[in-house]
Amino acid sequence: MAGGGYSALPSGEDVRPTTGVSKILGPKWARIPALTLGLLAVQLLWAVEMSYAPPYLLALGLAKSNMAIVFAAGPLSGLVVQPLIGILADHSTSRWGRRRPYILVGCLLCALSILLLGFTRDFASLFTTNESATIWLAILSIYLLDFSVNAVMAADRALVVDLLPPSMQNEANAWAARMIGFGGILGFFVGNLNLPTILPFLGSTELQVLSVIVVVLLLGGHLTTATLVREKVLIRAPEQVYISEARPSLREELGRLLSNMFSLPRIIQQICIIQLFGSLGWFPILFYTTMYISDLYTRSHTTVGNASEIAEEGTRLGSRALFFSAILSLLTNLLLPLFVRSSTQGTKLRDNTTTTTERSWLRVPERMKVPLATLWAWSHLIFGACMLGTFFVSTVDQAIYLIALTGVPWAIAQWAPFTLLGEAILVDSPAPEHSESEYEAIKLEEALAVASRTPPPSPMTPRGQQHQQQHKTQLQPSLSSQAGMILGIHNLYLVIPQFFVTILCAVVFAIFEGGSSPAAARAVERADISNVERPNSVVYVFRLGALWAFIAFRLTRRLARELSR
């Protein structure tokens, strides 16, 4: 990664003219929170899936080794959906903008999917009493959910890059991470409550009540964002203004995306490779924490009891660990941005930009701040140390504390790379003839308008050449006009390694756990739980994550040194 440079993205893409001005309605203090509000509900949805889907599938009788394959839905959807939605949205000429239509359609599909997951037994009972059919319906709902939520996430992230100038990327992504933190806290907190007793009219099980709550918040949050945001609209220009003879087909666009994976600008390429190794470590934690703690609880439970009741208590303890992690993650995202100075190429932004965060209620001396890339590097080191800490964990309480501690690096992982990526996209784009410091003296909507303008022609340019120069500038490709595609490529680096981890988990679970079936699950439920002896197979995958985290630490330190030059 460090050796040799990377070429720029091919310049064959047409950049069509736009109309309107990007802006966010409402009070100035509420604009960025309104822009990122939808991520709160998205994280709540993820929290419900991470906490309840694994034990739910096990309760239905799915083998643990097969469950690892089921959760390939996450990386598979990220591999296909996010790049595809990024490309389609980049070329969308909808009068509602490029991102919002995909956000709203994706939210509707998410709502249907999570309701299907929560009410799988009820829906399946309308057609069959076959338990295998119920399992397959639950698996289908998880795949639909992962595919639709990835579409929403892709558009949510691209909207931040589209609407805000480079100087606001750090603050916006910090707010995005805070919203993710709030969503995680809400999702894992309600997992500790007996919701069917509190809200019996929403469902008879915890998952059913949660699925209804998620739908309300998901649709409400994104409708709020869609209402308050105004996007520039891509104009259907005549064919002769395109650089290419005809607009590329979707197949050609996807081929170009794959070819561009290895021709990104150097800084963006390095961020993507770091994310690849980071993803190898994080994926097991995100999906198997509840299973890890539930297994610890089951193996340490020495009394005779009903296995389903003990498994339910183990699930609640796993949700509690994730709840504590989410709290620590939110606190990290509230405080750490105050102590960070943005890391961009050279000093292009760092020397000339004063962000809203720096003008906030708490002004931190510059000498106390650290580069964002350096902070990101140390987060990998902390996460790796946590994974090695599993060697010393033998009780449920110890495991809860350890998982809670991962909230610190997780908070940084949800904020730092997206800020660095957004800055790299915007800084490497053809810039208007306005310095970044000019963003300080104007309002947000004016900053957004300035960021979208093209440079005025030189006074020495003849009038006949002026139109030609403006036309050339209009067609000049820029990274900012390809934000959806670049974020899609970035997501490929996140999800491709997850296939490797999924296969690894399936092999490990098959070796240490063996298979099961609905009949076997019922037999275990009737058995004396104290006689169940089995290893906690998840811990081996966690420990391997430390290796990937340490590699990511080394690469991020190298990136930080390059950005500081």
| Dist CA 317 CA 412 (whole Å) | 25
pLDDT at 309: 72
For the chain, how are helix, strand and coil distributed in percent, rounded to 5? 70, 0, 25
- Would you place residue 150 in the very low, low, confident or very high pLDDT band (cuts 50, 70, 90)? confident
- For 72, phi and psi rounded to 5 degrees? -70, -10
Residue 477 has pLDDT above 50, yes or no: no
Q: How many CB atoms lie within 10 A of CB 467?
A: 11
In this predicted structure, what is the pLDDT of residue 271?
94
How confident is the model at residue 531, as a pLDDT? 41
Give residue 312's pLDDT: 72
What is the SS3 assignment for 24? strand
Identify the pLDDT of residue 392.
93
Q: Is the pLDDT of residue 7 over 60?
A: no
443 phi, psi to nearest 5 deg: -75, 170
pLDDT at 352: 41
Would you say residue 512 has pLDDT above 80?
A: no
- pLDDT attached to residue 272: 92
The C-alpha atoms of residue 290 and residue 51 are separated, in whole angstroms, by: 6
Q: Kindly list the structural domains of the chain, giving each domain's residue range(s) and its CATH number in brackets, ordered by start.
A: 18-234+262-357+367-454+479-564 (1.20.1250.20)
> How much is the pLDDT for 428?
60
Q: Are 541 and 287 in contact (CB under 8 A)?
A: no
266 or 300, which is more confident: 266
Q: Tokens in use for 262? A: 């290895």
Region 149-153 average pLDDT: 88
pLDDT of residue 132: 84
Q: Is the pLDDT of residue 315 over 60?
A: yes
Tell me, letter by letter, the H, E, C secondary structure of 58-82: HHHCCCHHHHHHHCCHHHHHHHHHH
- Tell me the torsion sign for CA atoms 393, 394, 396, 397: negative
| Cα 269–chain centre separation | 18
Residues 6+ apart with CB under 8 A from 23: 163, 229, 230, 444, 445, 448, 449
User: Per-residue pLDDT for 327 more than 60?
Assistant: yes
Ranking 176-190, 299-313, 344-358, 544-558 by mean pLDDT, the lowest is 344-358
Q: How far is CA 76 from CA 11, 105, 137, 144, 301, in A?
A: 29, 20, 18, 11, 37
Query: For residue range 164-204, what is the model confidence (pLDDT) as tens digits?
Result: 887 788 888 888 888 988 888 887 777 677 788 888 898 88
What pLDDT is recorded for position 446?
41
Sequence-ordered strand ranges (E) for 100-238: 229-230, 233-234
Residue 246 has what pLDDT? 52
Q: Of 340, 349, 365, 359, nearest to 29 (Cα)?
A: 359
Give the confidence band of 474 by pLDDT, cuts at 50, 70, 90. Answer: very low
What pLDDT, on a 0 to 100 scale, did the predictor assign at position 514? 58
Whole-number average pLDDT of the chain: 76
Average pLDDT over residues 217-246: 75
Instruction: State pLDDT tens for residues 237-278.
Output: 555 444 444 555 666 666 766 777 777 888 999 999 999 999
Check pLDDT > 60 for residue 471: no
Q: Where is average pLDDT lowest: 94-103, 278-287, 510-519?
A: 510-519
pLDDT score of 359? 47
pLDDT at 238: 55
Q: What string of DSSP letters covers 213-263?
A: HHHHHHHHHHHHHHHHEE--EE----GGGSSSSSPPPHHHHHHHHHHHTTS
CA dist., res. 271 & res. 264, Å (int) = 10
Query: Average pLDDT, stretch 8-25?
Result: 61
| Lowest mean per-residue pLDDT among 128-137, 399-408, 464-473, 474-483 | 464-473
User: Does pLDDT of 8 surpass 70?
Assistant: no
Range 541-560 average pLDDT: 94
Least confident stretch, 381-395, 422-436, 548-562: 422-436
Across the range 449-459, mean pLDDT stands at: 39
Q: Give the pLDDT score at 305.
A: 58
pLDDT band at 308 (very low <50, low <70, confident <90, very high): low
Is residue 380 predicted with pLDDT exceeding 80?
yes
Q: How far apart are CA 547 and CA 427, in angstroms?
A: 33
Q: What is the model's pLDDT at position 460?
A: 38
Asked whether residue 444 carries a pLDDT value surpassing 70, the answer given is no
Residue 338: the pLDDT is: 86
Model confidence at 533: pLDDT above 70: no
Higher-confidence position of 233 and 215: 215
pLDDT band at 453 (very low <50, low <70, confident <90, very high): very low
Find the mean pLDDT for residues 140-149.
90
Please report the pLDDT score of residue 433 as a whole number.
40
Q: What is the pLDDT of residue 502?
A: 80
Strands 23-24 and 229-230: what pairing?
antiparallel
Number of residues written out for the chain: 565
Question: Among residues of the chain, what percentage have pLDDT more than 70?
Answer: 74
In this prediction, residue 153 has a pLDDT band, given cuts at 50, 70 and 90, of confident
Is 487 or 374 the better-scoring residue by pLDDT? 374
